Amino acid sequence: MSPPTQRVTVAGRTLSLSNLDKVLYPATGTTKAEVLHYLTRVAPALVAHAAHRPATRKRWPDGTGGQAFFQKNLDASTPTWVPRRTIRHSSSSNDYVLVDDLATLTWLGQTATLEIHVPQWQFGRTGVPLPPDRLVLDLDPGPGVGLPECAQVARWARDILTGMGLDPLPVTSGSKGIHLYAALTGHGTLTSDAVSAVARELARHLAGEHPDLVVADMKKSVRPGRVFIDWSQNNGAKTTITPYSLRGREHPTVAAPRTWGELDDPGLRHLTADEVADRYEADGDLLAPLLAGHLSQLEPTPERLATFARLGTYRARRDPDRTPEPFDDGTAPAVTADAPTFVVQEHHARRLHWDFRLEHDGVLVSWALPRGEPTDPGRNHLAVQTEDHPLAYGGFEGSIPAGEYGAGEVTIWDAGTYELEKWRDDEVIVTLHSERRGPRRLALVRTGGRGGDDENSWLIHRTKDQPRDARPAVPDDGGAPHDVAPATGGPVPPRPDGSAAPDGAATAPTADAAALPAPPGPAPRPMLATAASPGELARLDATDWAFEVKWDGFRTIAEVLPPDPDDTADAPGPRVRLTSRSGRDLTATFPELQALADRVPADELPVALDGEVVALDTAGRPSFRRLQQRANLVRPREVERARRAVGVDLVLFDVLRVAGIDVTDHPYDERRAILRRVVAPRRPVHVPDALTGTVAEASAESRRLGLEGLVAKRRRAPYASGHRSRDWLKVKHVGAQECVVVGWRPLRAGTPTQDPRSVGGLLLAVPDGDRLRYVGRVGTGMSDRERRELAARLADAEVARAPVDDVPRPDAVGARWVEPTTVVEVVHAGWTGDEPGEGSLRHTVWRGLRPDKDPASVVIEATDGARPDAG
């Protein structure tokens, strides 16, 4: 019998081991000593896969026949040398153990910790949580199925993952099913949400292709006889049993790495500790390729620390507990556009001035303009250089409290991107691009002031040479920016009398208000939202902004027109006309939406409404894949057949015209009140309310409902028809990107079984200035029917030469080039560059055609990459 307590030294640490004869697996008589022996044998591999990850432990102090305890937080009895990291949750903080060495693993064995669960991300060397370095799919068999069925689903998933450039590796979980892991080598810009989105789309695709065996729904009632693909294990807050960990089952089974050949064995079973240890000592770690991405993600570099130093003056002048201004340490730059950004902020401080800021070298280089931006090339204005500001300041609006540096109200007067022509220590020349105020070319020149020794004294000058599409300058009677004509594309009609009652409730516009030409005629163009970073949205105040759901459908201008006087019917009724964002007539495609005519009073006609056509799934969520079955159909027989399988609804969220009166100059809140008064919602027509609460609460609610994203709308802003505006800001919860098709490759291209009647993959591009830039290909996620229909559609658009000149040779081999007129949408796991839009798309999955979009409207989309609490 072993002594009651033994003191041992492991990897330089002294531990007390006790009760080594205690039986932890009663069915096999396996003791604590045997558990510790197993851990010692596999420690190099187990530690490698668990290291630097916050571990949740599952302990069986009285053996697997007794009660189990999940434990996250380290207690007072934990040796001080055990590595740990703290994670702050919404209501508490937990200190998690890091299984970084054999001594820690041995201590866990001594405490009867049999199971070690870790997330798919690690802490970096500086303690910063890193992006995920691996993807995992948990194949969980329901009642009536087992490992053989899981192995079949694993093979199907393997085909998709390898097509995405990943190398999936199987692990029999030691409990019920199979885990598939794939390393995300060099993908340091990914978020857990992005990886989860790809995994979810893969699971849904397999469930659609193999509904008799695969389910992607978490409801347990649908799992009997099928394998559930649990994609949610990629969530940053969830954990998975670490490879080589024991399981707290009747027998000492292990989460065991396997070969793909083993999965073909009809007698496939789970392996025990001795079997796994013997295999490891004979064959090594079968999961070694999974370690390639560990600790390779972006952490503070000399360049990023230099950015932090540049913001020293900014931080020294401000107290984050006393001012709402953003604080950024420079190690996590805000998401920006493809081109560098600029912002002009109107600042009502002790003296009114305008702050002119240009993104450069990771900060906003800033000047104060006492008289604003010049509008006359013949007159220069003073510009005083101030301290650099963090990139996050580009989205700041709010009140700086009295007594603080720069106290006063700050609003954004203009914002956009710029082209850099020259940047020297004493001269900067840029061309600004703004939807609000148009393009213009400006120069800043350091003058040194009257004595020549004031390095912060500059002049700002509007150059004589201006962009062709620059808007006319306003006569310079003082030069303040508010004297510049608004960028509305034309005169703004006065607000109709009576458009808002004294109590603020909207009423009908009056007949003497300025009216646009009555339809028929071209439909109005919708207002477009600007992609924003999650951090930018997080700073918005619900008193100034409304938060709406981003619907996953076809954007549509819906008009209800008076009866056609030429209609020969006995009692012709109002007509509904549906127009896509690109100007395409959708009326014949969605005949059930003629119901809108009955939802609007006759005395309000004609009306023009902004909304989205959606197809709802069984859970009531918009499904873009279902909507695809209704796209591009105009023949009545085809439309009716598709309509019987998939119905559509119309979600309305804005109004442009009522009784022929233009109401786009009304602020958002007034337009919403008019919309609620004019439209009587009843399926298939809906007028959902905006989400309530803070932006964080609204985002959480949108996620809970399984919706596409969030749109923030400035309450006091008018409707900028036909313009993309920063008065509307959007963030998607998953990485979805619209792309232009520039070519395609046949299914199984280059093989004896090549099928030229089916698409194997599409070659994709996005607009980049005045050209298209290649961003990768997509083939995963298409049904056989979609592959055939795409091939037929693209056959009529083939051209001799590639529309883009930067397609890598492996992608170009066997490609058939097409005119760049077709827009599609894909889900992806990020970009290969440092910022969204840079480099190529990673791990794309097909979502569908976008017949409602034209190539010129394609922009780089931002995604919400916020990490949930880990634990």
The pLDDT of residue 571 is above 70: no
Residue 428: which of 391, 450, 459 has the closest Cα? 459
Is 550 an annotated catalytic residue? yes
CA 697 to the chain's CA centroid: 17
The pLDDT of residue 631 is above 60: yes
Is pLDDT larger for residue 454 or for residue 256?
256
The pLDDT of residue 506 is above 50: no
Q: What's the pLDDT score for residue 566?
A: 63
The pLDDT of residue 450 is above 70: no
The region of weakest confidence among 105-114, 188-197, 376-385, 434-443 is 188-197
Tokens (6 digits) for 521 = 């005629």
The pLDDT of residue 471 is above 90: no
State how far the alpha carbon of 115 is from the alpha carbons of 49, 109, 111, 402, 503, in Å.
Answer: 14, 10, 11, 56, 63
CA angle at 830 for the pair 828 and 831, rounded to the nearest 5°: 115
Residue 661 to residue 675: CA distance in whole angstroms: 13
H helix count then E strand count, the chain: 15, 41
User: Is there a contact between 415 and 391 (Cβ–Cβ < 8 Å)?
Assistant: no
Superfamily covering domain 1-294: DNA primase, PRIM domain (3.90.920.10)
Q: What confidence tier does 868 reach under pLDDT thresholds 50, 70, 90?
A: very low
Residue 674: which of 651, 654, 692 has the closest Cα? 654
Cα radius of gyration rounded to whole Å, the chain: 31
Residue 807 to residue 809: CA distance in whole angstroms: 6
User: Is there a contact between 75 and 268 (Cβ–Cβ < 8 Å)?
Assistant: no
Bridge partners for 360 per DSSP:
363
Residue 597 to residue 602: CA distance in whole angstroms: 9
User: Is there a contact between 99 and 55 (Cβ–Cβ < 8 Å)?
Assistant: yes
The region of weakest confidence among 112-126, 565-579, 630-644 is 565-579
Residue 857 to residue 584: CA distance in whole angstroms: 14
The pLDDT of residue 148 is above 50: yes
Is pLDDT larger for residue 332 or for residue 575?
575
Q: What's the pLDDT score for residue 701?
A: 82
Looking from the CA of 475 toward its CB, the CA atoms found within 13 Å total 1
Q: Are strands 214-215 and 23-25 parallel, antiparallel or unpaired?
A: unpaired
Is pLDDT larger for residue 646 or for residue 845?
646
Tokens (6 digits) for 74 = 């380290």
pLDDT tens sequence across 279-297 = 998 888 999 888 865 444 4
The pLDDT of residue 728 is above 80: yes
State how far the alpha carbon of 477 is from the alpha carbons of 355, 372, 376, in Å.
Answer: 20, 12, 10
Phi, psi of 167 (to 5 degrees): -120, 90
Annotated catalytic residue within 550, 713, 732, 853: 550
Query: What percentage of residues in the chain have a pLDDT greater than 70?
Result: 86
Q: What confidence tier does 189 reach under pLDDT thresholds 50, 70, 90?
A: low
Residue 183 to residue 241: CA distance in whole angstroms: 16
The pLDDT of residue 804 is above 80: yes
Is pLDDT larger for residue 315 or for residue 799?
799
Question: What is the enclosing helix (H) or strand (E) of 58?
Answer: strand 54-59
Q: Are strands 69-71 and 84-88 parallel, antiparallel or unpaired?
A: unpaired
At what angle are helices 192-209 and 147-163 packed, to 10 degrees?
A: 120
The pLDDT of residue 152 is above 50: yes
Superfamily covering domain 528-564+572-729: DNA ligase/mRNA capping enzyme (3.30.470.30)
Residue 99: which of 113, 88, 89 has the closest Cα? 113
Q: What strands lie across the sheet with 214-215, from one edge to the other?
A: 214-215, 227-230, 134-141, 178-183, 169-172, 256-257
Omega before residue 684 within 30° of 0, cis: yes
Q: What's the pLDDT score for residue 843?
A: 72
Q: What is the dihedral of CA 584, 589, 594, 600, to 10 degrees?
A: -30
Residue 84 to residue 100: CA distance in whole angstroms: 9
What are the extents of the domains in the chain? 1-294, 302-318+338-462, 528-564+572-729, 736-857
The region of weakest confidence among 442-446, 743-747, 826-830 is 826-830
The region of weakest confidence among 32-46, 124-138, 244-258, 560-574 is 560-574
CA 162 to the chain's CA centroid: 24
The pLDDT of residue 654 is above 90: yes
Instruction: State the average pLDDT over residues 79-94.
Output: 85
Q: What's the pLDDT score for residue 829?
A: 66
Residue 151 to residue 263: CA distance in whole angstroms: 6
Q: What's the pLDDT score for residue 308?
A: 63
Residue 226 to residue 175: CA distance in whole angstroms: 17
Cβ within 8 Å of residue 428, ≥6 positions away: 358, 422, 443, 444
pTM over 0.75: no
Residue 672 to residue 686: CA distance in whole angstroms: 13
Q: What's the pLDDT score for residue 685?
A: 96
Is pLDDT larger for residue 743 or for residue 781?
743
Q: What confidence tier does 759 reach under pLDDT thresholds 50, 70, 90?
A: very high
The region of weakest confidence among 138-152, 486-500, 842-856 is 486-500
Looking from the CA of 589 toward its CB, the CA atoms found within 13 Å total 22
Q: What's the pLDDT score for residue 331?
A: 37
In whole numbers, what is the pLDDT of the chain averaged over residues? 84
Q: What's the pLDDT score for residue 453?
A: 66
Q: What confidence tier does 584 reach under pLDDT thresholds 50, 70, 90?
A: confident
Residue 672: which of 499, 473, 871 has the closest Cα? 499
CA angle at 119 for the pair 117 and 124, rounded to the nearest 5°: 120
The region of weakest confidence among 13-17, 59-63, 350-354, 694-698 is 694-698
Looking from the CA of 133 toward its CB, the CA atoms found within 13 Å total 24
Instruction: State the average pLDDT over residues 398-416.
Output: 90
The region of weakest confidence among 208-217, 623-632, 759-768 is 623-632
The pLDDT of residue 109 is above 80: yes
Question: What is the enclosing helix (H) or strand (E) of 277?
Answer: helix 273-283
Residue 649 to residue 687: CA distance in whole angstroms: 11
Residue 74: which of 94, 47, 93, 54 has the closest Cα? 94
Residue 240: which of 121, 113, 327, 392 has the closest Cα? 121
Instruction: State the average pLDDT over residues 7-13.
Output: 88
Q: What's the pLDDT score for residue 221?
A: 87
Residue whose tokens read 């900060």: 363
CA angle at 192 for the pair 191 and 198, rounded to the nearest 5°: 95
End-to-end CA distance of the chain: 40
User: Is there a contact between 531 and 730 (Cβ–Cβ < 8 Å)?
Assistant: yes
| Amino acid at position 333, single letter | P
Q: What's the pLDDT score for residue 786?
A: 87
Superfamily covering domain 736-857: Nucleic acid-binding proteins (2.40.50.140)
Q: What's the pLDDT score for residue 537?
A: 79
Q: What strands lie across the sheet with 709-714, from one edge to the other?
A: 528-531, 724-732, 709-714, 545-550
- Highest mean predicted confidence (pLDDT) among 178-182, 308-312, 499-503: 178-182
User: Is there a contact between 384 and 405 (Cβ–Cβ < 8 Å)?
Assistant: no
The region of weakest confidence among 508-512, 540-544, 603-607, 747-751 is 508-512
Name the H helices within 4-127: 32-50, 102-110
SS3 for 91-156, per residue? CCEEEEEECCCHHHHHHHHHCCEEEEEECCCCECCCCCECCCCEEEEEEEECCCCCHHHHHHHHHH
Residue 529 to residue 547: CA distance in whole angstroms: 12
Instruction: State the average pLDDT over residues 492-511.
Output: 33
Residue 791 to residue 116: CA distance in whole angstroms: 49
Q: What's the pLDDT score for residue 363?
A: 87
Q: What confidence tier does 185 reach under pLDDT thresholds 50, 70, 90?
A: low
Q: What's the pLDDT score for residue 794?
A: 95
The pLDDT of residue 623 is above 60: yes
Residue 447 to residue 808: CA distance in whole angstroms: 49
Tokens (6 digits) for 271 = 């392996």
Phi, psi of 629 (to 5 degrees): -70, -15
The pLDDT of residue 485 is above 60: no
Query: What percentage of residues in the chain have a pLDDT greater than 90?
Result: 48
Residue 542 to residue 693: CA distance in whole angstroms: 7
Q: What confidence tier does 300 reach under pLDDT thresholds 50, 70, 90?
A: very low
State how far the alpha carbon of 691 is from the alpha carbons of 587, 670, 679, 698, 702, in Å.
Answer: 30, 17, 19, 6, 8
Omega before residue 520 within 30° of 0, cis: yes
Phi, psi of 378 (to 5 degrees): -85, -5
